[in-house]
Amino acid sequence: MEKVAAYPGTFDPFTNGHLEIIERASKLFDKVVVLVAKREEKNTLFTFNERFEIVKDCVLHIPNVSVEKLDVLLVKYLREHKIRFIVRGARNVSDFEYEIQMFEMNLKMYSEIETVLLFPKENNRALSSTLVKEIINNGGDVSMFIPEKALLKLREKLERKE
C-alpha cells in the first residue's frame, strides 16, 4: 500500500524551511501532498490562490509531491482522501508543544492518523514565516530565507503595493 503524507500549512510566505521539510518528507513517503490552508482569520501577505501557486512553483522539482488547496478541516480532508500521515516541522520547544496539542486533537477526530515531526537543519531552525514577514515589513532583505521562485512573487507583490 502506498504511503501518502500530507504537509499542511499557510505558507505565507513559503520559506526555505518549508521546502526543506517537503524535500525530506518526499524521501520518507511514496507521495507527499502539500496542503495550502485557506486560513481567512490570518492576515496573510499573499492571497489563498497566490500562496497555492507559489508553493506549486517551488516544488515542481520533486516528482512525488503535489499541492492541493485546503479549505476544510484537515482531518476531514485526510479522511476523505484516505491519508493517514501528517508531516509537521518542529523548530523549538514551543512548536513541539503546539504539535503535541494538534496531534491529540487530530487523533480524537481521526484515530488512524499518525503525525511525523521533522526537525529542520540548523540553517532553517530559527526561520519562520512570521519573522520573514517582519523583515519584509521593515524593509529588510529576505532573499536568503525564501526560495527563488517565491522571492520573485514577493518582489512582484511589493512592487504592486508601491
Tell me the CATH number at 84.
3.40.50.620
Query: Which of 78-98 are b and which e, b meaning 16 or more Cβ less than 10 Å from the residue's Cβ?
Result: beeeebbbbbbbbeeeebeee
- What mean pLDDT comes out for the span 116-145? 91
Q: Is 56 a catalytic residue?
A: no
- pTM, whole model, 2 decimals? 0.93
Report which of 41, 62, 48, 56 is spatially closest to residue 12, judged by C-alpha positions.
48
Select which of 42, 76, 108, 155 is catalytic: 42
Average confidence score pLDDT of the chain: 93
Query: Contact, 99 vs 88, CB < 8 A?
Result: yes
Select which of 88, 129, 149, 153 is catalytic: 129
- Output the CA–CA distances (angstroms, integers) from residue 58 to 18, 40, 89, 147, in the order listed: 10, 23, 18, 7
Q: How far apart are CA 89 and CA 125, in angstroms?
A: 10
Select which of 31, 69, 84, 91 is catalytic: 91
Q: Is 111 a catalytic residue?
A: no
Q: How far apart are CA 133 and CA 140, in angstroms?
A: 10
pLDDT, one tens digit per residue, over 49-88 is 999 999 999 999 999 999 999 999 999 999 999 999 999 9
Q: Is 129 a catalytic residue?
A: yes
Q: Is 18 a catalytic residue?
A: yes
Q: Model confidence at 135, in pLDDT bands (50, 70, 90)?
A: very high
pLDDT (0 to 100) of residue 42: 74
Domain total for the chain? 1
pLDDT at 130 over 90: no
Q: Which residues pair with 32 in a beta bridge?
A: 5, 65
Range of the domain at 80: 4-161
| The three three-digit cell numbers of residue 78, written as one number | 485526510
